[in-house]
Chain A
Amino acid sequence: MMHDQETVLLQGHIIDSLILAKVLDTILMMGGTFDLEDVQIGKTREEPSRARIIVRASSPKLLSEILHAIQPHGASVESERDCRLSPAPADGIFPDEFYATTHLPTQVRIRDQWVEVARIEMDLGILVDPVAQTARTIPMGEVAQGDLIVTSREGVRVIPLQRPRERDVFSFMESQVSSERPHGHIIGDVARRLMQLRAGFREGKADSKVLLAGGPAIVHAGGREALAWLIEEEFIHVLFCGNALPAHDMELDLYGTSLGYRHAAGRVVPHGHEHHLRTINRIRAIGSIEAAVKSGVVKTGIMAACVRRSVHVVMAGTIRDDGPLPGVITDSVEAQAAMRAAIPGIGMALLVASTLHAVATGNLLPATIPSVCVDVNPAVPTKLADRGSFQAVGLVMDAASFLRDLARELGARL
């Protein structure tokens, strides 16, 4: 990613003299890139022309070399101001005119220096420490009175996404969602990415964790085995879910049913609707899912694999939950914070069969993280795309088929 950038102005008779062409050629020849932000061509020969050029480079050193080379040809760095800061008037309240973030990489200018905003996420504010020259996003609810928050758009710049180097489905970043698109090559690309990420994860490389946010339909539709396999094989490192996914996953282990359906027989069993309640009650009695797995009560499935592979699980509850299971966070602000805390280090996200968790996770993800949203309901990937998570590839398909195809692509014999 070319994160280092500076805006330069070029003016005068820059078109016929080929000065503009020379400056742009110089930027490219030196290994930088540019965006012509605004070009005003003089209407007469006497009238000057003007161009605003964003120069980008892969390092501050290269950027400064490029600026040094184009400056003698008249490209002057646009004078830029520091971002404006106002103290939060009270705990939990942003100052008026606070800057609301996008999920794109963002920088703020602090004492004449562009500083990367840490943990970028959409719809938050930016907290600045002017002394340390650091900036990070902060949710409205977490702001403390007196915190210095960025206000207005001055001294803030948003860096558009660069096309990834990999030539796969994610490099097109299209938000089009259709049930009529073939899925095979998309799943193939996802599998390739998972394979690379797992290799990176095993070597301890940064940003190589894979997040899966999923709903209980994974279990109901028959994707449990495939997901458990993906977890056991270390392809998934973080799991976001609610109360239902683990409840039905463990119900299947303890009773052979999910929501009362016996999977082997394919029909409802007498009093099967009680099984998930009995499951939850049993786990509550044991004290935790981890203890239930470690004591051998729960032997198979998604949660058992998570415990065995030390997958970081965040369970966020809702108002319709039974129980809930121990470990489910019932305070939604707390749950959001727990999910947010698990985002750093994620290199890819799979959002499978859950409107609530897919959208909530999509909101937390920086635009730079590729994600795949899988749902039988086209509204879900579409909703994510509408919310600006345009790095999300949408797949309209059944969760179980997706997980099975993905696992097979990665070598599972299911």
Chain B
Amino acid sequence: MSRLLVCPPDYFAIEYEINPWMRRSNAVNSDEAVRQWHHLIQVLEEDVGAVLERMKPVPGLPDLVFTANAGIVVGGRAVPSRFRYLERQREEAYFEDWFRSQGYEVVTLEPGFFFEGAGDLLGFSDIWFGGYQQRSEIRVFPILSDWFHREIIPLELVDNRFYHLDTCLCPLSGGELLYFPPAFDRYAQEALAERIDPARRLVVPEAEALKFACNAVCVGKHVVLPAGCPDTESLLISRGYLPHPVPLDEFMKSGGSAKCLTLALD
């Protein structure tokens, strides 16, 4: 059973610009955003069979909807994020409170260590990948590796349109990796090629990567991804996955999609 944390988009809007996707002039259609979010929730609950935990939205925190950046949850322990930008730092306390209220053991990083949660830390059971340079800092990974006894391979993100690791890389339940190589520097591309068998590396075409095809939620054989990525869907089908395209373009205005809107709570 897969449990995910979500937060309704009651206050979702573009109130600041902290990534190349955000433009305040490109206003969110709130009704449409709410519709799209509920559609996503419906797919996750009904088609995928995930159990969703809902967080209470907070006025003035438009990005609280992107729960992937709440932190990371491993077993009974949670590490809340430490956001790079002031605009999102105000979310930290709410996410931390939520973890505590649910009985998680909360482990915190020292102030000044930037780490944006599951947005920048993804992986398989035995190996995790840590995205750094855009938002999270590389120096948090040895600390997390020590806390959770996991190998964490840091990968440098070099294209600011792919500012979180989950915007350009998605580990799938069968050991495959959906990813967009040019978002990474040469060393990260080589490190991935070194560790993941070529047959398991599914390269997403640029046009679909820019629609955040990699920002997908994989639960068992189900993969929920933004609509409009037919090549990625074919790739997934060829490996035995069941794609669930969901229109999420209102959230793309803020630089987020399916994965950004959820946090895995195992």
A residues engaging B (CB < 8 A)? 11-13, 16-19, 21-22, 45-46, 48, 72-74, 76
Contact = CB atoms under 8 A, between A and B. Distances in A.
A17 B191 contact: yes
Given A45-B126, A72-B133, A19 B154 contact: yes
Nearest to B194: A16
Interface stretch (B7-15, B139-147, B205-213, B216-224): B139-147
A76 B139 contact: yes
B133 A46 contact: no
9 smallest beta-carbon distances between A and B, as pairs: A12-B142, A18-B187, A74-B138, A17-B153, A22-B187, A45-B151, A17-B191, A18-B191, A17-B154
Interface in B174-198: 185, 187-188, 190-191, 194-195
7 contacts: A12-B152, A12-B154, A17-B187, A18-B194, A45-B126, A46-B150, A76-B139
Contact-residue size bin, chain B (C-beta under 8 Å from the other chain): 20 to 34
B155 interface: yes
A74 B139 contact: yes
A19 B194 contact: no
B156 A73 contact: yes
Interface string B123-146: 000110000110001110110011
A48 B146 contact: yes
A46 B185 CA distance: 23
A12 B145 contact: yes
A12 B190 CA distance: 18
A46 to B, nearest CB: 5
Given A17-B188, A17-B191, A46 B138 contact: no
B42 to A, nearest CB: 39
A22 B138 CA distance: 13
Nearest to B189: A18
A260 to B, nearest CB: 77
Contacts of B185: 22
Nearest to B133: A72
Given A13-B153, A46-B151, A72-B137, 5 more contacts: A12-B138, A17-B191, A19-B154, A45-B126, A76-B139
Contacts of B142: 11-13, 48, 74
A42 to B, nearest CB: 8
A104 to B, nearest CB: 33
A25 to B, nearest CB: 8
Contact of B191 (A11, A16, A45, A74): A16
A216 to B, nearest CB: 65
B92 to A, nearest CB: 22
A383 B83 CA distance: 64
A210 B134 CA distance: 57
A48 B148 CA distance: 12
Nearest to B126: A45
A21 B185 CA distance: 13
Nearest to A20: B187
Nearest to B152: A13
Interface string B39-72: 0000000000000000000000000000000000
Nearest to B155: A17
A4 to B, nearest CB: 24
Contacts of A22: 156, 185, 187
A11 B190 CA distance: 19
Interface centre among A18, A22, A48, A74 (most CB of B within 10 A): A18
Given A12-B152, A13-B151, A72-B133, A18 B190 contact: yes
A47 B191 CA distance: 17
Contacts of B155: 17
A12 B155 CA distance: 12
Contacts of B126: 45
B187 A48 contact: no
B244 to A, nearest CB: 32
A48 B191 contact: no
A76 B112 CA distance: 15
Nearest to B192: A17
Interface in B81-137: 126-127, 132-133, 137
Nearest to A49: B142
